[in-house]
Amino acid sequence: MRIKTFKTGLVILLTSACLSGAWAQKYVMVIHGGAGTILKSTMTPEKEKAYRAALASALQKGYTALKAGKPSLDAVEAAIHVLEDSPLFNAGKGAVFTHDGRNEMDASIMNGKTLEAGAVAGVTTVRNPISAARAVMERSEHVMMVGQGAEKFAKEAGLTIVDPSYFRTEERWQGLQKAIKEDSTKSVLDHGSKKAVLLGIKNRDNKFGTVGAVALDKDGNLAAGTSTGGMTNKKYGRVGDAPIIGAGTYANNTTAGISCTGWGEFYIRSVVAHDISALMEYKGLSVAEASKLVMDKVGKLGGDGGVIALDRKGNVAMPFNTEGMYRGTVTDDGKISVEIYK
């Protein structure tokens, strides 16, 4: 810090302190709504407004919980509920269809204080899969439950159960029909993909992606959660990274909370979420450095997408290697910021 004295008083120039982040804004929540071929040139003003409003609503819901003194787990669950209930995103109400014409959803959540975690995969009747994941974490001795067993457990836990038709949206159904017509032998991601182009899989405008949230509460505890409908036209019980702890979701109070979105197979192979935490813990990298390094590795393998990460000091990282990622943050003083494009 440089200090200069003038006759009129003392003026402090905050150059070095500001550059070092000593007075950087503290973030308490970060969310994402998927990454992919998201271009302003192909987005109508009405749809962009709807996306921004939904993301802002999710952030406000989470922030309200945090300001009320509730734990980060509550904030993550509340924010993801908003996104799961919106048909704009590939989670809950907006989930894409499998090859067999079903909406099969996955979700996970993790407590950074205790390293407890819960997940569900392949559920078709649970209105909010993120709540089912939390129930597995808090009300069972397990980490992951799948299919009918997870649905039975969710019902016994008192969660809202709906008819599978609740998740159907015409836009997603038409996306499946188009995918089957154009290529009946290959699955299509919920976003544009570099490798998909190499494989001859066309971008079918399915870029509404997985949702996720990470929160830091007043007690300094981190939590992270992720929820998804997976891939359009996915085959026979396929499960991606979203419900896999360490791949799509991870939280540790000593490092950061992380939620991922992208081509799940690459995130599983790279153990993306845990790798970011490990680089911070073992090599002392910042959340920004670790997140970028891991996303660079995913890109070199041929995968694409993005991550959101929030460390225990309130620093945020949101790297992605696609044209856009629906994302947003809220600071300790309630300032909400939403971004979509690069």
What positions carry a catalytic annotation? 210
Sheet holding 249-251, edge to edge: 249-251, 256-262, 305-311, 316-317
For the record, the structure tokens of 326 come out as: 């629906």
What sign does the dihedral 268-270-272-274 (CA atoms) show?
Answer: positive
Listed in sequence order, the DSSP H helices in 227-305 are 264-270, 272-283, 287-301
Dihedral sign of CA atoms 278, 283, 284, 290 in order: negative
Tokens of 230: 């997976």
Cβ distance 31 to 213 under 8 Å?
yes
Q: What are phi and psi of 69, to 5 degrees?
A: 85, 10
Give 3-state DSSP helix, strand, coil % of the chain, rounded to 5: 35, 25, 35
CA distance readout (Å), 196 to 103, 185, 342: 22, 13, 21
| CA–CA separation, 23 and 308 (whole Å) | 22
